[in-house]
Structure 1
């Protein structure tokens, strides 16, 4: 057994072991590292997906449902209370914390309104209107106009 050695539990020739020692590890490129990392992340997310999907489904069912009929009186009373606070200027007596919480809720409602508008338009910056679009009203006004000089307009 002079010409053989054990490597990782396997009996291999001695010259094979010496060639293993002489090779230097190859540097992994950035793309290979990113691919390896993406594989690890994918496998982790694939294992976590069923649990997270069940949680998302439960939360969506509870939080995104419209209000129940028994909740409407509470909603109406809170809205009337808010209107009363604005009319009597009682918001001046709020602590900074209360004011920040209420303004954060107000901002959230406004932001979700604009997000809903963007979803409805299917575009972020206004409606997509074709360049050659002319409304019916504008066409009607243009037809009614009299051109003074038909050659230079």
Structure 2
């Protein structure tokens, strides 16, 4: 039994090194994309955001959403569910429990 311990330790070290080598490009790509995509909007982007929200309001008034395919509607619904779940998870983290606030 004691003779197998060095083998197990060596295997763990090799596996750890392989994991670090394999994860390095994935982590660097994630970091590059996250810093770009998850950053708050810059002041230069505000006119574009305003234009998008105005267009969204016009599309809602003209019932343009009625012309969506089932795939597009399902995709939009899933995005809405994801946003709602992040909100609820943030609430749970903020209040420190799943049930209720201290009143």
Whichever structure has more strand as a proportion of its residues is: 1
Task: Work out which of the residue numbers 18, 21, 44 in structure 2 matches 1:44.
Answer: 18
Alignment partners' CA distance in 2, 1:106 and 1:81: 18
Alignment partners' CA distance in 1, 2:77 and 2:48: 21
Unaligned segments of structure 2, at least 5 residues: none
TM-score normalised by length of structure 1:
0.48
Task: Work out which of the residue numbers 51, 63, 83 in structure 1 matches 2:57.
Answer: 83
Alignment partners' CA distance in 1, 2:100 and 2:56: 34
* Root mean square deviation, CA, Å: 3.0
Q: How many residues align?
A: 95
Pair 1:71 & 2:39 matched: no
Whichever structure has more helix as a proportion of its residues is: 2
41 and 84 in structure 1: CA distance in 2 versus 1, 3 angstrom threshold: farther
Unaligned segments of structure 1, at least 5 residues: 1-31, 130-134, 136-153
TM-score normalised by length of structure 2:
0.65
Q: In the TM superposition, what is the alpha-carbon distance from 1:127 to its structure 2 partner? A: 4.9
Q: In the TM superposition, what is the alpha-carbon distance from 1:65 to its structure 2 partner? A: 0.7
Q: State the structure with more CA Rg.
A: 1
Summarize the alignment of residues 1-150 of structure 1 with structure 2, pairs less than 5 Å apart: 39=12, 41-123=15-97, 125-127=98-100, 129=102
